[in-house]
Amino acid sequence: MVLEAIKKRQSVRSYQDKEIPEEILQQILEAGRLAPSAKNTQSWKFIVVKDEDLRRKLVPACKNQEFVEEATVVIAGCGTDPDYVMSNGEHAYSIDLAIALDHMSLEAASLGLGTCWIGAFYQDQAKEILGVPEDVRIVNLLTLGYPKKLGTKTGRKPLSEIIRYDKYSL
């Protein structure tokens, strides 16, 4: 079933003017809550933006991506411990939030809703609009709603092009 949701998921940039039932929204948020995190820190907060005026204000902060306003909900994934670096040198918050937001995205797809990851946004503007404290980082914004139309499904490289066994080799 998970693979079916993965295959079904695609970036949606056109949404119906249709409310998401609260129990469906909570189910999607629960999928994110259950995501793993480094050392189980769960160093995150999720801002669920339902207010149309706030979504409208986010459009310029998101480099004028108009569908941000059109979505029923925008979820901002915020890292609350941006200083924590794992032993591999990577910041945990960005990886942890990618996992959590992807869980939400896949749950949404399984329920017939669409999402779009937004990494192209101005951090300072988005933080100001959403009242995010200075020491917290917004990692990503995720639009959510019922698709008005689906885009063309993008292709993926074959496994033979991306998988290496035992060692990295060309």
Q: Which helix (H) or strand (E) holds 139?
A: strand 137-145
Under 8 Å between Cβ of 1 and 77: no
Helices then strands, counting H and E runs in the chain, come out as 7, 4
pLDDT digits (tens, 9 = 90+) for 5-30: 888 898 999 999 999 999 999 999 99
Q: What is the pTM of this model?
A: 0.93
Domain limits, the chain = 2-162
pLDDT tens readout for residues 61-102 = 999 999 999 999 999 999 999 889 999 999 999 999 999 999
Please give the Cα distance from 162 to 168 (Å, whole number).
10
| pLDDT value for 169 | 84
pLDDT tens, 106-141? 999 999 999 999 999 999 999 999 999 999 999 999
Where is 84: in which H helix or E strand? none
CATH code for 2-162? Answer: 3.40.109.10
CA geometry: angle 92, 98, 100, nearest 5 deg: 100
